[in-house]
Amino acid sequence: MTRARGCDAPPAHPGGLLRLRGASGPPETNVTVQGNGQDGGGAFSDSDTNLEPSDQVDLLGGNDRGAGTTVVSTTSSAVTTLVYALESSPGFQGEAVCALRGVTLSG
């Protein structure tokens, strides 16, 4: 159900980029996002009451780096919680790489 794109962000978005897309075929899906970021708009929140495969929910709220929590739920009572953080390059001292961390809880 999720697709993350971070370290290989397109040139138009040189920092990090994380997006959530819906999956085809599941029941009606709802997503809520809340977090904080840097090098963009700062604190952010978003929601989509009908997440579909063509949707792209920005998990960083337009920031180049940040952290947040996303809750995805369906009408069939499935719930998934994502807790994540992205640090754009250089994510580590002296290393030209980004750092993406996350935990997923499903039930």
pLDDT in tens, 96-106: 888 888 999 98
At 1, the pLDDT band (50, 70, 90 cuts) reads: very low
pLDDT at 36 over 60: yes
CA distances, 106 to each of 11, 64, 77, 86 (Å): 33, 27, 11, 21
Q: Is the separation of the CB atoms in 17 and 64 below 8 Å?
A: no
pLDDT at 3 over 80: no
pLDDT value of position 68: 95
Q: What is the pLDDT of residues 61-91, one digit of tens each?
A: 888 889 999 999 988 888 999 999 988 878 8
Calculate the average pLDDT of the chain.
81
Task: State how far the Cα of 79 lies from the Cα of 55, in Å rounded to an integer.
Answer: 19
